[in-house]
């Protein structure tokens, strides 16, 4: 039986800018889909907050996106996916997190079984990536590093190669992975692929970098074929943030390499 087109938007949620790494992939793989992006920029970072708080913010984000009539939600946030997805009340549409898909991609890529995991303090404390990898490849060795300074740097628009502060912070966080000889690194927070050029240059071309937002979108692209993709050639993207639009619009346009001005709106998300 033919699948009926579904022109409702796809919701993408992150604590800030990081989910744009999923949007970039969506624009390429599913150009006909409308996108509703929620970046909770007024409350970023989530990665240093308690589990209860992250669950509360996640449920508020789901409620907002459901109000936008989305057909599915991509949780383009490593922290929410690791800490809250098993515990938060889920909305009545499919929800895709980043942990399982990124762990599967890492296991498929590694040759020596040594996998680095970079994440926020909350993600690393949860052990979510490591548990998933252990199930998929019990012989794998994981080397995990919490990188609390990466999210504030990215949110401040500092992710270019040659930025002295960025280079210094990256070299400190990557040292244990270099010493361990990992051949695959999960950029376990969706903000980190914005630093991929710097991280890749430090790790060397022989090391595979796994982009969790992109992996989630690849999963969603095949799911959409079964569930009903949009039947238009080009969709639209709307961005909602919980802090000022200017900084977000600037970094988003730079990262996505397309104008976003006019499609970014500040909202008040319910404070519970
Ligand atoms: N992009 C989020 C993640 O993937 C950022 C985390 C944060 O807000 O601390 O974990």
Neighbours of 172 (CB within 10 A): 12
Tens-digit pLDDT profile for residues 207-266: 999 999 999 999 999 998 888 889 899 999 999 999 999 989 998 998 899 989 889 999
Q: Which domains are seen in the chain, by residue range?
A: 10-97+214-266 (3.40.50.1860), 99-212 (3.40.50.1860)
Q: Is 226 helix (H, G, I), strand (E, B) or coil?
A: helix
193 with 211: CB under 8 angstroms?
Answer: yes
pLDDT for residue 270 is more than 80: no
The predicted pLDDT at position 272 comes to 44
CA distances from 108 to 103, 137, 209, 211 (A): 9, 9, 12, 13
- CB of residue 183 inside a 6 A radius of ligand 1: no
C-alpha 230 – ligand 1 centre gap (Å): 29
> Which pLDDT does position 166 carry in this prediction?
97
Q: What is the pLDDT, as a whole number, of residue 71?
A: 96
> Which residue out of 20, 24, 45 has the highest number of ligand 1 atoms within 8 Å of its CB and is therefore the one to mutate?
45
Please state, in angstroms and rounded to a whole number, the distance separating the CA atoms of residues 46 and 120.
9
Distance 8 CA to ligand 1 centre (A): 26
142 is catalytic: no
What is the atom index within ligand 1 of the atom nearest the CA of 14?
A: 1
Four-residue CA torsion sign, 21, 23, 28, 29: positive
Q: Tell me the C-alpha distance between 47 and 69, whole Å.
A: 28
User: pTM of this prediction?
Assistant: 0.93
- Considering only CA atoms, which of 143, 138, 81, 94 is closest in space to residue 116? 143
- Choose, from 187, 189, 195, 230, the residue flagged as catalytic: 189
Q: What is the pLDDT of residue 1?
A: 60
194 in contact with ligand 1, CB cutoff 6 A: no
What average pLDDT does range 184-191 have in this prediction? 96
**231 CA to centre of ligand 1 in angstroms:** 32
The better pLDDT of the pair 234, 48 is held by 234
59-117: pLDDT as tens digits: 999 999 999 999 999 999 999 999 999 899 999 999 999 999 999 999 999 999 999 99
Query: Which member of 77, 174, 186, 241 is catalytic?
Result: 77
Contact call for residues 25 and 222 (beta carbons, < 8 A): no
Cα 2 to ligand 1 centroid, rounded to whole Å: 38
Residue 271 pLDDT: 55
The residue whose CA has the least distance to atom 2 of ligand 1 is 77
Distance 127 CA to ligand 1 centre (A): 15
- 188 CB near ligand 1 (under 6 Å): no
What are 108-146's pLDDT values in tens digits?
A: 999 999 999 999 999 999 999 999 999 999 999 999 999
Asked whether 119 and 189 are in contact (CB, 8 A), the reply is: yes
Ligand 1 site, residue 191, Cβ cutoff 6 A: yes
Reported confidence tier of residue 53, pLDDT bands at 50, 70, 90: very high
Q: Is 78 in the pocket of ligand 1 (CB under 6 A)?
A: yes
């Amino acid at each position: 039986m033919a699948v009926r087109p579904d022109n409702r938007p796809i919701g993408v949620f992150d604590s800030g800018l990081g989910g744009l790494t999923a949007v970039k992939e969506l624009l390429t793989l599913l150009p006909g889909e409308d996108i509703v992006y929620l970046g909770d920029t007024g409350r970023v970072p989530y990665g240093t907050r308690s589990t209860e708080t992250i669950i509360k913010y996640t449920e508020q984000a789901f409620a907002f996106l459901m109000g936008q009539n989305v057909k599915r939600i991509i949780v383009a946030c490593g922290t929410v996916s690791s800490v809250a997805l098993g515990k938060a009340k889920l909305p009545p549409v499919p929800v895709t997190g980043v942990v399982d898909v990124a762990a599967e991609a890492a296991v498929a890529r590694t040759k020596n079984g040594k996998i680095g995991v970079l994440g926020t303090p909350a993600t690393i404390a949860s052990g979510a990536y490591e548990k998933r990898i252990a199930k998929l490849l019990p012989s794998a060795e994981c080397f995990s590093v919490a990188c609390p300074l990466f999210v504030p740097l990215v949110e401040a628009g500092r992710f270019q190669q040659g930025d002295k502060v960025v280079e210094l912070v990256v070299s400190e966080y990557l040292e244990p992975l270099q010493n361990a000889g990992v051949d695959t690194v999960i950029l376990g927070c969706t903000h980190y692929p914005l630093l991929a050029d710097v991280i890749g240059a430090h790790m060397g071309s022989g090391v595979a970098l796994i982009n969790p937002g992109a992996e989630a979108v690849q999963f969603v692209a095949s799911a959409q074929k079964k569930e009903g993709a949009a039947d238009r050639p080009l969709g639209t993207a709307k961005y909602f943030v919980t802090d000022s639009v200017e900084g977000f619009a600037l970094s988003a346009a730079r990262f996505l390499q397309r104008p976003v001005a006019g499609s970014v709106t500040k909202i008040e998300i319910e404070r519970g």
